[in-house]
Structure 1
Amino acid sequence: MNVDYYSLLAKAVAGKDEAARDQVYHDARNLIRKSSHLTREAVAMHTAALEDAIRRIELDLIAEGTKSAAEISATLSTDRNWRPAVITASAVIALIAVAALLYGYLANKQPIGAGMTASSSKASRGGEEAVMGDLKAGVDGGSSGDVLPFALQRQVVFYRTTVVPGSIVIDRENRFLYLIESNNSARRYGIGIADQCQKGGSFFHIASKLEWPEWKTPGTNTKDADALLASTGRPGSPLGARALLLDKPGLLIHGTNSPKTIGHLVASGCIRMVNDDVEDLYRRVPVETRVVFVS
């Protein structure tokens, strides 16, 4: 059984201004977060599906140029003594209906359907996160993000920010990298992150770009032939197909030979993406691109 968050929320926020929509979204998030019937993984998947629905609705409103709730109310009949009460009551009823439908579904503890997606938000993960193991160097786990939950696959999303277009925003907590575009949108990529890159500064720039960067097994003798992987076209390299080195030693965005580690805390590297995604990002950003870390 699936929850069509998009249809439910679209009806609940129809005709509302930004503040009213935000309140509906907030209540829906809390309903999922406080459900005692769901595992942490299920909460993460429902939350991600909800967030995707919210972004779709907001993008639809921008595209349609929808009037605010105040403008809509002003065009109604002149009898304004009772209409505000009716509008308020309708909003409350819509919100109750959404809550009832969500609760009825969540209480059943059904498995997440094909329309659900995974999120790796700190609140959803809870507790101490386990480190996701890597494939061995030289083993090619694939370059595509098709094996990932939908939320972690490359896509254009609604993203409101004051960061200038063309910049990169890295959300350490939620495991996303955003390439900021115009009109409140961004190209979003799923990432994995190593513990040593969880903290630190917030503002950096891309200092250099590498194709098929060389990788050395930690703690091995550099003279050992097996310690180094060729820097040209080796899909099994743990640093993947491309690397964007930032202006701080040890801080870089790179590919991986282990796509299934995306969305998790990882054992090596720094900020990792599947090879197809890091190649896409590599083509889109020049040296000196601004990189902003948020938590």
Structure 2
Amino acid sequence: MAPDGMWSIGELAEHAGVTVKTVRFYSDRGLLPETGRSSGGHRRYGPEAIERLRLIRSLRSLDLPVPEVERVLDREDALEDVIDGQLRDIGSQLAALRWREAALQLLRDCSPEERADRLRLIGGMTTPPDTTALARFWRRVLPLRMPPKLTESIVDASVPQPPADPTPAQVLAFARLHALVTASGPDGRPWRPETRLPVDGFRPAELYEGLGEAYRLAEADLRGRRAPRGGAALDCFVDAYARSIGTRDTPDFRRKLSGKLAAARDPWLERYWRLAAELSPDPAVTTGTAHDWLRAALDDHVTD
């Protein structure tokens, strides 16, 4: 150290246990400001530089990018935000690794005859998987004449969230689900389910709001694994259909609704809900299982 208490770049590097090149790099980036210059124009650093350099090295040891290190050095309150951001990034990376691991296990454990098809399915999705295609499908098939907030709530309830630590079977279920919603119909256009229930004066918001409430009312029975039965959930279910077409819940309406729902059953949608259930934390409680339970309860009611 010089008599004036300043260090040269070489002295600072030696005390910090780094190379001169490292000190120069951080100096050039503005992370390690020099205190002054010698008479010969060489960089000089004060005693505080050693602590700042050690802080920089500690932050870099956590793999923080240089721009993030700059944020922390410029703002004392930035460290928490930077840490939270890094934890989110690491969480995404770990999820991607878990999905890759489960996908590799899926391929390892299948027969040679299945491998080509499973490779095609896995290749059609990202890792970790993205639910954008599923959400886009529901926004495409839902009626247009509904409040945006209601549409988004239906999309949220209908799109299963990929588990962070999937089993090989769940990787296959999501891959099949993704292939299902991105498939084209016979005419080459994106597939959409056939709808037979709407009539003149049909009010879709009335239907979907009522169905959502009916599904919530049915949750306790679904969690308890109870057989389909009458009650508040079924009454709400039927009333939603009745109000959507401007009529009332009567025994005759229930008989007709049971027949229409049976005729409107769509194998494609039933497959969607089966696959979605495989990704749910509780496969017994999904929009699809709730609808099937209520439809079965209606069928039992009208045949009593």
Higher normalized contact order (CA 8 Å, seq sep 6+, divided by chain length): 1
TM-score by structure 1 length? 0.21
Higher strand fraction: Structure 1 or Structure 2? 1
**Which of the pair has more CA radius of gyration?**
2
Instruction: Report the TM-score when normalising by structure 2.
Output: 0.20
